[in-house]
Structure 1
Amino acid sequence: MFIIEQSKTLSTSGVRKNLSVLKQPALSVINDHLIAYPTPSNLNYFWGFGSLAGISLIIQIATGVFLACHYTPEVNLAFSSVEHIMRDVQGGFILRYMHANGASMFFTVTMVHMLRSLYYGSYQAPREAVWCVGVVILLLMVATAFMGYSLPFGQQSLWGISVITSLFSVVPFVGTELVQWLWGGFSVNNATLNRFFSLHYLLPFLIAGASIVHIAALHHKGSNNPLGINASADKINFYPYLVYKDRVGLLLFAIIFSVLVWFAPNLLAHPDNNIPANSLVTPLSIVPEWYFLIVYCILRSIPNKTGGVLAIGLVFVALLALPFIATSPIRSSNFRPYHRKAFYLFVSACFVLSWAGSKPVEQPYIFIGQTATLYFFFYFFVLVPVLGRLEYYLLTRNNN
């Protein structure tokens, strides 16, 4: 009897000790947001892409810090410093390929993450702030990736800087001065590379901070689920079930990432960027990285330069406005047959824009890009608000 009572006392003290440990500030945050966070039990594998985006960000920051130790932001030395990293620094080629292909993986999982939110209506109330912060993160990612693409200072880097920064010349009254301020002079020079290098180093930490705000906003309102209904009555702890479920996606992510780094490191890169920058030789085609092709195709689909820049801005306006123009009381497209078809056409239009953007600026690619661009904006500003009301009307009429 004494032994039983003693064991109960030891067991109780052990539980109290564990609880006291979890009450420590740092550990309590981990417990509240990564272990005991209440999560809908019916989440599918698409919900794991948010975690993969966080892992991708960590990879990019870690590899970027080590690469910065050997990179030289100077127009005559930048290309050579990248080659030095690849050839002379121990493990440098792994760091460089992980960083370059990590950007592609980061954009891939982020795009799938956003498309999942579009399909299941995760941007709707009460999660407007979660979506809007996510769009800000996407904008920061685009800026960071563009500046990173310019740092090797190959042919595509130089002409990419020249073309993209010249778009700011459309700003009324101060356009020319703004471009010269970005360049730090009257052409792309050392000041340009130094500024881009500094911003490329800084912005990932801003993305990390915005990601914390994104997660905090999500955990404040709770996660959406495939049914799009209130799941407060059927929630489980994030650990262990959903952690192990996310590990499946992490395993697939690691396999694809490893194949790219070890067996096809230059698959997604443009070969002209392996040529040192030369301002006297214009490349036959100036094509950005694949994750820029959608906005690049939209830009060149508008025959007017100012109109093209406004169209790019309208892309992010459409994304930010989405929670406020959506009219459907039903979130999940599983129960919205008309929106489901429109969504699949939207995804197809994004693939068409990427494909057309990689082709020469000639017919029929111009017309195809313009058609896909038209549907891109038609989906956001017409189909999203109209189909929401139409489907609700048909639903209430059938019920009556």
Structure 2
Amino acid sequence: MSFPWAKEYTPTNPVTKFFDEKLPLPRLVYNAVGAGYPVPRNLNYMWNFGVLAGFFLVLQIVTGIVLAMHYASDATVAFGKVEHIMRDVNWGWLMRYAHANGASFFFIVIYLHIFRGFYYSSYKAPREMVWLLGVVIFLLMMATAFMGYVLPWGQMSFWGAKVITGLFGAIPVVGEPLQVWLLGGYAPDDAALNRFFSLHFLLPFVIAGVVILHIWALHIPGSSNPTGVEVKSESDTVPFHPYYTAKDGFGLGVILVLFAIMVFFLPNALGHPDNYIEANALSTPAHIVPEWYFWPFYAILRAFTMDFILPAKLWGVIAMFAAILLWFFLPWLDRSPVRSGHYRPLFRKFFWFGLIPAMAVLFYCGGAPAEEPYVMLSQIATAYYFLHFLVILPLVSSFEKPEPLPYSITEAVLGSDKKAVLGENTTPAT
């Protein structure tokens, strides 16, 4: 986004002048995350999650590369190779725990980032492309995480791969051939492990490429803000650096403390104990469950228990994918002219007392056994989830009466005093 009051990059010595002429990377950084990028002055800590997600993506790539140097995608030795990394490779235990828990923290900040987007309607014009690319990133993350979960070749890895790829078998006509093609055989083995390892290594770099597009698309309209009011004057903005680099730095420090606690004191708290048993195709675990960040969609999959025109399993697969794919249509489902949930009283009630409890139930039921009352709770939460996005959101956006919006971002921050709104100096002369 170009503002007439944005500071221009001016090289000050021969070296920076040379790079600015031949390869203007300093100018790119300055305009992207420096003083040359003005951002709304009222961003709260909910706008930290994009930077935190970027940090964990880099962490996953770096630790993943190190782990790949010592791993072998062979079903006969994969489990032993993971143990070798843990026991014999210098700092291998740290790399593995940082990678495993880094995936969980990556999903935590992404889920918070997504729900912030839901509440503040970050998908609305002119930021539709930012949102659509964000959904693509999330889908790529889900695929990458699933393939990574298979690589340790423990019991949950093997049976998780068998169950998830078995979902494709529910597709009429092409389902079973597609499943065999994905696995390279009729059950997870060397071929599947090689394919998943290759794709797990490749996809993070694809994610990084889409992240660049995501940031590029963001810089065209500029950042959204808690009021949903667009920037009107210079007083509405501050330079990204040093104001938000300091704020993001503080947020990163807090999350790193929590991450260090998980890595050094609770490294296996988010894992499943069955995955520390080597994969055995002849021994089915009592309760097959994916990683926690798949639970809401796993609960949606299991919510369908009766055949109706189509088999229940196929309905579950369709609903599981539709639960994410409908996010692509949010810019057109929500027709309210007001973005921020702060000024939408009815929307706010349905969000906090409808969508959030429904998602909490889906998270819980996805990790619970496939028995009552969890199946029934999953069905109720699934019904509300789709009802919220496909019915409630469009209806509320049509007849809701929003609260009055502030005239500008500056007014929202400093109040409605005329001098504050105009950005004039209100300090008395001495």
Normalising TM by the smaller chain, what interval?
over 0.9
- The answer for the alignment partner of 2:333 in structure 1 is 325
Q: CA deviation at 1:264?
A: 0.3
Superimposed CA distance per residue, residues 12-48 of structure 1 (whole angstroms, 9 cap, x where no aligned partner): x985769836835111110110102110011001101
- Residue 71 of structure 2 aligns to a residue whose secondary structure is coil
Report the equivalent of 2:268: 266
Q: Identify if the C-alpha distance between structure 1 residues 386 and 14 changes in structure 2 by more than 3 Å, giving closer, same or farther.
A: closer
Number of the residue aligned with 2:26: 27
* Uncovered stretches (5+) of structure 1, i.e. residues with no partner: 1-12, 396-400
Partner deviation per Cα, 1:47-100 (whole Å, 9 max, x = no partner) = 010000000000000000000000010111000000000000000000000000
CA distance in structure 1 between the aligned counterparts of 2:335 and 2:19, rounded to whole angstroms: 43
For 2:253, which of 251, 254, 278 is the aligned residue? 251
Cα drift, residue 171 of structure 1: 2.2
Worse overlay, 204-213 or 223-232:
223-232
Structure 1 counterpart of 2:348: 340
Instruction: Kindly provide the CA deviation profile for residues 108-152 of structure 1, in whole angstroms up to 9, marking residues without a partner as x.
Output: 000001111111111101111100000000000000000000000
| Distance change in 2, residues 1:68/1:337 (3 Å) | same
In structure 2, the CA distance between the partners of 1:219 and 1:22, relative to structure 1 (3 Å rule), is: farther
The runs of 5 or more residues in structure 2 that have no matched partner are 1-9, 306-311, 405-430
For 2:195, the aligned partner's letter is: R
- Distance in 1 (alpha carbons) for counterparts of 2:60 and 2:356: 27
Structure 2 residue aligned with 1:148:
148
The equivalent residue for 2:374 is 365
Greater percentage in helix: 1
SS across alignment from 1:39: strand
TM-score (norm 2): 0.87
Confirm or deny: 8 A CA contact 2:304 2:316 kept in the other structure: yes
After TM superposition, list the pairs within 5 Å mapping 1:160-171 onto structure 2.
Answer: 160-171=160-171
CA contact (8 A) 2:344 2:402 kept: no
Q: Give the secondary-structure state (helix, strand or coil) at the position aligned to 2:39.
A: strand
Runs of 4 or more consecutive aligned structure 1 residues displaced over 3 Å after TM superposition: 13-24, 392-395
Q: Which residue of 2 aligns with 1:375?
A: 384
Distance in 2 separating the partners of 1:393 and 1:19 = 50
CA contact (8 A) 2:120 2:226 kept: yes
CA distance, structure 1, for counterparts of residue 391 and residue 11 of structure 2: 60
User: What is the percent sequence identity of the aligned residues?
Assistant: 48
TM-score under structure 1 normalisation? 0.93
Structure-to-structure mapping, 1:1-400, within 5 angstroms: 15=12, 20=17, 23=20, 24-35=23-34, 36-233=36-233, 234-303=236-305, 304-344=312-352, 345-392=354-401
State the superposition RMSD in angstroms. Answer: 1.7
Cα separation, 2, equivalents of 1:327 and 1:253: 35
Question: Which deviates further from its counterpart, 28-37 or 194-203?
Answer: 28-37
For residues 392 and 168 of structure 2, what CA distance do their matches in structure 1 show? 31
Aligned residues: 384
CA distance in 2, matches of 1:110, 1:232: 30
Specify the SS of the correspondent of 1:221: coil
